[in-house]
Amino acid sequence: MSKYSIQQFVSKSKQVDKGQGMFELETERILEVNLNGDVWTKMGSMISYEGTIKFEREGILEHGLGRLMKKAFTGEGSQLMKASGKGKLYVADQGKKITIIDLDGESIYINGNDLLAFEKGLDWDIKLMRRIAGMMAGGLFNVRLEGQGMVAFTSHYEPLTLMVYPGQPIYTDPNATVAWSGNLQPEFVTDIQLKTFFGRGSGESIQMKFSGNGFVVVQPFEEVYYSGE
């Protein structure tokens, strides 16, 4: 049999149950959700499903008026879709690499554009970075998740986790920052020298400064956010 035959292709690429729980990495870039109830996913991330699953856009008052007001500032990037029912759901986001974290009472911040899916039982809230919203195209927002359950986020290529220790702050490019531990509160600093080097009004001159004890996840890619205007 030719190594390029249809049988060989199907055998190599077909879906395989790994028995890892509700969230499984079917490939590095496709998340399988073994659904029996509800799950929140990024709007437009569904690529396939089987079973009896119903999809609905996040209700206007689904999470209260406070979050609705925040969503007015954050734009389409924060739009969520609720999948309900029983079956297998496959989600992905522009071929980005997927990371799964199983929270056990911990908390984590994830850039809103990188949040792919999370279990319904997790507590979450949108946090808008108002101080730099006007400095960058589309602004920046993140989502804080806490409790018991799985969350999946995406990154362009392989993510790198940097440890933050007291007295040893970490500086990152906002466009390359994916996530950080829930106990950290980043500051924003401006470096005029870097702005001169790169010649970009909204680029490396703005940095996120993480101080304390925790971690921050970065990607080897500067993501550009659009306001949609």
43 within a domain of the structure (yes/no): yes
CA dist., res. 143 & res. 113, Å (int): 9
What distance, in Å, lies between the first and last C-alpha atoms of the chain? 54
pLDDT, tens digit (0-9, with 9 covering 90-100), for 164-179: 999 999 999 988 999 9
228 within a domain of the structure (yes/no): no
pLDDT, tens digit (0-9, with 9 covering 90-100), for 119-164: 999 999 887 765 555 555 444 678 899 999 999 999 999 999 999 9
Q: What is the Cα gyration radius of the chain?
A: 19
**Domain extent at residue 123:** 19-218
Domain harbouring 152, CATH code: 3.60.160.10
Of 119, 148, 147, 155, which is closest to residue 36 (Cα–Cα)?
A: 119
What token pair was written down for 28?
Answer: 């590095």
**Full-prediction pTM beyond 0.85?**
no
Order of strands, sheet of 206-210, starting from the edge strand that comes earlier in the sequence? 170-172, 206-210, 187-190
pLDDT, tens digit (0-9, with 9 covering 90-100), for 31-87: 999 999 999 999 999 999 999 999 988 655 455 545 554 554 445 445 788 999 999
pLDDT at residue 105 is higher than 90: yes
Of 203, 179, 177, 181, which is closest to residue 190 (Cα–Cα)?
A: 203
Model confidence at 115, pLDDT cuts 50, 70, 90, reads very high
2 within a domain of the structure (yes/no): no
**Could you give the C-alpha distances from 113 to 136, 160, 194, 204, in angstroms and in order?**
14, 17, 25, 19
CA dist., res. 91 & res. 226, Å (int): 22
Mean pLDDT over all residues of the chain?
Answer: 83
Helices (H) and strands (E) in the chain, counts: 4, 14
Q: How many domains does the chain have?
A: 1
Is 197 in a helix, a strand, or coil? helix
CB 208, CB 187: distance < 8 Å: yes
- DSSP designation for 129: -
98 within a domain of the structure (yes/no): yes
Q: How buried is 31 (Cβ within 10 angstroms: 0-12 exposed, 13-18 middle, 19+ buried)?
A: buried
90 within a domain of the structure (yes/no): yes
11 within a domain of the structure (yes/no): no
What token pair was written down for 183?
Answer: 């106990």
